Amino acid sequence: MVQLTNTQRWWARLIAFAALVTVATWPWPGLRSGFSAAFCELISPVLAEMTFDGQTQVTMAPLNETRPSLAGAEEHIVADTALTLRLTKYRGQMQVEVSLRRDVFLPLVLFTAMLLVAPFAWPRRLIAIAAGCTLITLVGIGSIQLTLANIFSGRIPLAPQLSEVYVVSETWGDILQFLHERWLIPPGNRVIAPLLLGAFAWALHIDSWWPRKASVALHGVSPIR
Amino acid sequence: MSESTPPNPATATPPTDSADVAATTATAEARETSELRRRALRYVLTMGALMAGLYGIAYQSWSPNAFMGQRLIGYLETVAQLSGVVLRVLGEPVTVQNSVVSGTFSYVVVVDCAALDVQALFAAAVLAFPSRWTTRLIGLVAGLSAIFVINIMRLVALYYAGSRSLDLFKTLHEEVFVLVIVGLVCGLFLAWARWAAQATADAELAPTLSKAA
C-alpha cells in the first residue's frame, strides 16, 4: 500500500477533480439534449404556473440541434433549449434560446466533482451533494424565472408587446435588472458560484480534513511547564 | 491500546485516568473544530459579500458618458489593443478599432470578455484573507496584473481557434476557458495565500526574535 504525503493527497484530489470534470463535460452524443429534456420536464410545472394573470403561456423544450443564440444584446451562446413565449391576446410567438448545459449542467458537474473528491465520510458527502445539487437546480429554475420577469417587464427589450405584460414599480424593475446583470450576465458565475458553494460545504465539514492540533498538544503535555 | 504503550519519558507525568484525558481531548478537539469552522465560514461568507459588492460596481450598466462608463470602455479598448499588439507580434494581420479586433477572425471585446468576474473573485478572496494590508496589496497588484495578462492570452488563443474552426472557438469560449481561467485564479490565490500566511507568521515572530537576540 502506497502511503501518500499530505501534498501528494491534495494533488491526487486536484487531478481526480479535473478528470471528473473532463469526463462529465465531454461532448458525449445525446448528453446535452438529454439533460435539456430532463430539465425541461422539471421546469414545465413551474412555467405552467407563471402566466402573469393568464396573460402569457411559456413553454420550454430542447432544440433539435444547437445553434448560436442572439437573444440578449451581446450574448452569443450555443443554445440547446428554447423558451417559447406566447401572449394570450396576440397571435404568434417568440423564442428565446438558452444554454442549459452552460447554465445548469456545468455548475452541477463542478459542485458534484468538488464534493466527490472531498475527504468526507460518504453519508456526509452524499447529503452535501444532494443539498447542493438541489440548490443549484432551484437557482437554475429561478434564473429562468428571472429572465422571464425581465422580458415581460421590458427590462430585456425583445418586443413592445412583451414588455407590457408584467407591470412593476420602478424599484422592483431595477431590482430585477440588477439581479439579471449581476447573476446572469457574468459568464464566470457558472463556474464561480458552484465552486463557492463547494467551498462553503468544505468549510462546513472542516473537521473532516483540517489537521488537528488539540490532541497532540494534550497528549504531549507541555514538558516545559 | 494505551495500556501496552510504554510511557514516553519526554512528556510530563502520564495521566492516571485515561477516560478523563479522552474526554478532555475530545472537548478540546470539538472546541478547536468549532472555532475552525466558524473562521472558515466567516471567510467564505465575507468573500461572497465582497464579491457581490465588486460585481455591483463592475456589472452596473454605466452610461457611456459617466465616469465609470468611460473607464470601463477605456479598459475594454485597452484589452482589445493589447490583444491586437500580441497578435501582430505573432504575425497576424489584425487591425483594432475601439474594442473590435479584425483579421482572419474578428471579435469584439465586451464586458463579458474582460475577465471582470474572475478579477472580482480574486480581489474578494485576497481582501477577505486574514493577513496584513501590505501583503494584501501586493497580492492584489500582482494577481490582478497576472489575470489581465492571462485574459489577453485567452483572447489571442480564441483568435487562433476562431480562425480555424467556429465550433472549436465556441467550445473554448463558453466552457473550456471559463474553467481554465477560474482554475488559474484559484491557483494564483492559493499560491498567494501560502506566501501571505508565511509572511504574516514571520512578521508576528520578528519582534519576539529581535527581543530574544
From chain B residues 97-126, the ones with a CB under 8 A of any chain A CB are 110-112, 115-118, 121
A177 neighbourhood in chain B, CB within 8 Å: 61
The tens digit of pLDDT for each residue in A122-165 reads 999 999 999 999 999 999 999 999 999 999 998 888 888 888 88
- Interface probe for B, chosen from A192, A204, A212 (most Cβ of B below 10 Å), is A192
Q: Is the pLDDT of residue B2 over 80?
A: no
Judged against a pLDDT cut of 90, whether residue A111 lies above it is answered with yes
- Assess contact for A60 and A37: CB atoms under 8 A: no
Residue B55, pLDDT score: 85
B158 has a pLDDT exceeding 50: yes
Q: What is the pLDDT of residue A78?
A: 82
Residue A184 and residue A142 in contact, taking contact as beta carbons nearer than 8 Å:
no
Q: In this prediction, does ipTM exceed 0.85?
A: no
> For A20-76, what is each residue's pLDDT tens digit?
999 999 888 889 999 999 999 999 999 999 888 889 999 999 987 766 554 444 456
* Average pLDDT across chain B, whole number: 85
Nearest to A208 by CA among A128, A142, A144, A131: A128
The answer to whether B59 contacts A187, with C-beta atoms less than 8 Å apart, is: no
Does B48 contact A182 at a Cβ distance shorter than 8 Å?
no
Cell of A54: 393568464
| A200 to B41: CB separation less than 8 angstroms, yes or no | yes
Q: How many CB atoms lie within 10 A of CB A69?
A: 20
Question: If you search the block for the grid coordinates 450598466, which residue do you land on?
Answer: B61
Residue A220: its pLDDT value, please? 44
Residue contact A206–B40, C-beta within 8 A: yes
pLDDT at residue A127 in the model:
94
Biggest distance spanned by C-alpha atoms of chain A: 87
Q: Which residues of B touch A17 (CB under 8 A)?
A: none
Q: CB-based contacts of A136: which residues, under 8 Å, 6+ apart?
A: A104, A107, A108, A111, A194, A197
Residues in chain B, total: 213
Q: Which residues in chain B have Cβ-Cβ distances shorter than 8 Å to A202?
A: 40
Highest mean pLDDT among A7-11, A170-174, B155-159: B155-159
Q: How far apart are the first and last CA of chain A?
A: 40
